Amino acid sequence: MAKRGARARAPEEFSLSFLDVICCGFGAIILLLMITKTAEPQIIEASTINLEGTVTELQQQVFQILGETNILNRDLNAKQEQLSEYEQRIAILQDQMASVKSRYDSLQVESSSNAALLGQLDEAKQALTEEEKRILGTLYRSKNKTIAGIPVDSEYIIFIIDNSGSMIEARPKMKELMSEIFALYPTVKGFQVMSGTGKFILASTEGNWIPDNRSSRRNVLDGLNSFDCNTSSCSDPVPGLTKAITKYTKDDIRISIYVLGDDNSSKINGLASVTRLLSQKNNTQANTKPRVRVHAIGFPTRMGDEKKFSELAGALTRTSGGVFVGLTNLD
C-alpha cells in the first residue's frame, strides 16, 4: 500500500515543477518586455520632433512656391495684356497698310493715265502754239514766261478776294478763274487767300504760307463757299493788300497778288497809301523785275460798281507792272 501512494505523488511533484518553470519563463518574457518598453517613448518622441521640423520646412517651401507662383501669374497676365495690345496695333497697322497699298495701286493707275494725258496735252500744245500767237499777238511772249499778258515768274501767290454779298453770284466764276490762275503756276513755294479786310481763309496760317499741293489748292477753293463777309468794308481791298505786302514781301522772293472783286469802297488816301507801299517794295535797280506784282480781275455783278474797281485796278497794276482783266459776263 505504501508503494502505491509513492507512485501516485510523483506525477504531482513533476507537474508543479513544470508549472514553476513555465511561470518563470513567462516572468522573464514580461521583464524583457518591460525593459524594451522603457526605451520606446524616447525613440517615438525624437521621431515626432524630427517630423514636425520637416513638416514646418515643407510648409515654408510651399508658401515660398505659392508666392513665386502669384508673381509669375501677375507677370503672365501683364504679358498677355501687352500681347493683346500688340495684336490690336498689328491689326490696325495691317488695315492701314492695306489701305495705303490700295491707294498706291490707284495712284499707279492714275499716274499711268496722267502720263498718257500729258503726252496728249503736249501734242495739243504744240499744235496750238501757232494759233495762240495769231490770236494773242503781242500779248504772247513765251520766252518771258507770260500767258495772255500775265507774267508767271513769281514764286508765291496771294489772292485778295472781295467776299461781300454782291460777289455771291460771281463766286462760281471766281472759283473757276482762281483754278485757272493756279494752272498757270504748276508749282509754287507757297500761296495765301485773304479777304479785302485782311482776314485769312485759313486763320491758322496767318503769317505763313499755305504749302502748295493739289489737296491744299482744292481745299482752299472749296472753302470759298463759306468765306463770307457781311460788312460794307469787304469791297475795300486796301487793308488786305497792305497786310499782304507788309507781312510777306521780302527781298529774296517774288510775289504775285491777284485782286478779285466787283467794286471799290476804299478812300483816295487809302489807295494812295498802298500804291506808295508798292513803289517802296519794288524800288529796285533798273531793268530788274518787281518783287511784288498786283494783277486785278473785275467781275460784272448787278450790285457792284465796275468803274470804281477799274480805277483801283488801273492804279495798282500800273504801279507794280501787273495786268488788269475786266470780264464782260459771268458765263
What is residue 43's predicted lDDT score, i.e. its pLDDT? 55
With respect to residue 209, please indicate whether it lies within any of the assigned structural domains: yes
Q: What is the DSSP string of 213-224?
A: SHHHHHHHHHHG
* H or E segment to which residue 31 belongs: helix 2-136
Task: Name 249's Cβ contacts closer than 8 Å, sequence gap at least 6.
Answer: 255, 281, 291, 292
Q: What is the DSSP string of 128-176?
A: HHHHHHHHHGGG-BGGGTEETTEE---SEEEEEE--SGGGTTTHHHHHH
Question: What is the extent of the structural domain holding 173?
Answer: 146-326
* H or E segment to which residue 295 belongs: strand 292-298
Return the CATH number at 278: 3.40.50.410
State the Cα–Cα distance between residues 157 and 217, nearest whole angstrom: 12
With respect to residue 13, please indicate whether it lies within any of the assigned structural domains: no
What is residue 89's predicted lDDT score, i.e. its pLDDT? 86
What is residue 15's predicted lDDT score, i.e. its pLDDT? 58
In the chain, how many domains are there? Answer: 1
With respect to residue 203, please indicate whether it lies within any of the assigned structural domains: yes
With respect to residue 32, please indicate whether it lies within any of the assigned structural domains: no
What is residue 77's predicted lDDT score, i.e. its pLDDT? 87
What type of residue sits at position 291?
R
pLDDT in tens, the chain (331 residues): 445 544 555 555 555 677 777 788 777 788 777 776 555 555 555 666 677 778 888 888 888 888 888 888 888 888 888 888 888 889 888 888 888 888 787 777 666 666 666 665 555 555 555 555 454 444 444 444 555 567 787 889 999 999 988 899 999 999 999 998 998 888 899 999 999 999 999 999 999 999 999 999 999 999 998 898 877 678 889 999 999 999 998 888 899 999 999 998 888 888 888 889 888 888 755 556 788 999 999 999 988 888 999 999 999 999 888 899 988 888 8
What is residue 193's predicted lDDT score, i.e. its pLDDT? 96
With respect to residue 322, please indicate whether it lies within any of the assigned structural domains: yes
With respect to residue 96, please indicate whether it lies within any of the assigned structural domains: no
With respect to residue 33, please indicate whether it lies within any of the assigned structural domains: no
State the Cα–Cα distance between residues 130 and 118, nearest whole angstrom: 20
What type of residue sits at position 134?
R
With respect to residue 104, please indicate whether it lies within any of the assigned structural domains: no
Q: Is 155 exposed, middle or buried (0-12, 13-18, 19+ CB in 10 A)?
A: middle
